Amino acid sequence: MKRIIKLFEENSAIKGSVGNMSIYVVPLYSFSLKKVYVLLAGLVIERDSSGYVVKINFLEYDNYVDDRKKAEKFIESNYGRFLKLLERALAIKHPNATRIAELFGCYVSDIMIGFLHEIYGDDILNDNETLSGLRSICYDETRFFINDKVIVVLDISLQVVRDVRGNKVFVYRYDIKDFHEVSPKTKVFYDALFKGFRDLLKPEAVVEGELGYRYAFSSTEVEVDGKKISLMMIDEYNPYLNEWHIYDILAITCDNRCLVYSFGMGDYRGSLFLAGYTVLEKLMNYFLGYILSSGKFQKRAKDEAMGTLIKRNEWEILPA
């Protein structure tokens, strides 16, 4: 153990101490056939009267680059924000530096906390609620977290950051591996989700699917910029894993026509019929029936749901 600690002490790119804790970060690279293996290792040493506790977290990636500079660029583009935040917290000896270090090695939490620092500066270091929430995501204590700044729903790969002061919303896009500001047309749905997500956590209806699968529906209605928006969450029970997970979250608004936004897919559907097929084709009748039975949807949505149900269940009368 002493040799490991010495390795970190002598080779750290980032190091510092806060209170009774010392934190070190070491980048390691291995090259083979034009492929680089990158290991970012973080060491936290906590000392007390009985001795010390050593924790090692790491990020491990392989990428097809042929030299160290490209590997370093890869690290910078993916984790530069997080590493700068950790370095800053250590430099000013902020008491939450250790909480930042605890997020080391958690892809979702690392990416998000780094971006939050870019928006809010050092103020994010004092945000114990956000730090605790991201830690709970990091350590698999919960599958979702929401407050006034972030939404994380792991089951549908949803990561959202809100710039409260700048009135902007950013969603993480896996194709560009970064956060992207949403359009004003889409932003209203995310504003609705920030307002209404907690009201979706209690299922209002459960239906049986095939092969032992079950589906739970919940909904709420919120108002954003004078527009009424209905939110619907669909949870799925997997009998083989014996667990529930969030299948999708939908936002529905009806002006001239109903528009449905899927947070899981990140795009729109121009009718309840198309949304039903996108979400759960085999449960289309339950999906539409729930809209009819719930008091959380506008009259136009109920009318469209009824019309779609009638068309789906029409009998064709053939001549004798």
Asked if residue 288 is part of any domain, the answer here is yes
Dist. CA 179–CA 160, nearest whole Å = 8
Indicate whether 85 and 211 sit together in one domain.
no
Query: Mapping DSSP to helix (H, G, I), strand (E, B) and coil, where does residue 147 land?
Result: coil
Q: Is the pLDDT of residue 122 over 90?
A: yes
The verdict on 223 and 133 lying in the same domain is: no
Strand partners of residue 298: none
Q: Single out the residue in 122, 142, 162 at which a domain terminates.
A: 142
For residue 19, is it within any domain? yes
Question: Are 212 and 85 in a shared domain?
Answer: no
Examine the domain organization and report whether 127 and 215 are in the same domain: no
Is residue 43 assigned to a domain?
yes
Give the count of domains, the chain.
2
Instruction: Give the Cα separation of 140 and 155 in Å (integer).
Output: 12
Q: For residue 227, name the pLDDT band (cuts at 50, 70, 90).
A: very high
- Ranges of H-type helices in 146-227: 184-196
Q: Could you tell me the CA-to-CA distances from 237 to 168, 200, 242, 263 in Å, in that order?
A: 34, 16, 7, 19
Let me know: does 138 contact 108? Beta carbons within 8 Å.
yes
* pLDDT at residue 74 tops 80: no
Q: Looking at the domain assignment, is residue 169 inside a domain?
A: no
From 109, 142, 175, the end of a domain falls on: 142
Query: Per-residue pLDDT tens for 77-98?
Result: 878 899 999 999 999 999 999 8
Q: What is the mean pLDDT of residues 224-252?
A: 95
Residues 219 and 96 grouped into a single domain: no
**pLDDT, average across residues 19-30:** 86
Within-domain flag for 152: no
**132 and 212 share a domain?**
no
What is the average pLDDT value for the chain, to the nearest integer? 88
CA distance 281 to 239: 20
Residues 119 and 211 in one domain: no
Q: Do residues 211 and 137 share a domain?
A: no
| Domain contains 78 | yes
Segments forming the whole domain that contains residue 98? 2-142
For residue 232, give the DSSP letter: E
Give the model's pLDDT for residue 70: 76
- Asked if residue 207 and residue 137 are part of one domain, the reply reads no
- Domain annotation covers residue 179: no
What is the structure's pLDDT at 91? Answer: 94
Sign of CA dihedral 61, 66, 72, 76: negative
User: Are 224 and 134 in a shared domain?
Assistant: no
Question: CB under 8 Å, gap of 24 or more: what pairs does 173-181 form?
Answer: 177/77, 177/78, 179/115
How much of the chain exceeds pLDDT 90, in percent? 54
**What's the longest Cα–Cα distance across the chain?**
93
Asked whether residue 130 falls in the same domain as residue 46, the answer is: yes
Whether 171 maps to a domain, the answer reads: no
For 210, the token pair is: 């095939």
CA distances from 262 to 139, 234, 237, 265 (A): 27, 11, 20, 5
Specify the length of the chain in residues.
320
In DSSP terms, 205 is beta-bridged to 217
What predicted TM-score, i.e. pTM, was given to this entire model?
0.87
pLDDT in tens, 132-162: 999 999 999 999 999 999 999 999 999 999 9
Q: Domain ends where: 121, 142, 163?
A: 142
pLDDT score at 145 = 96
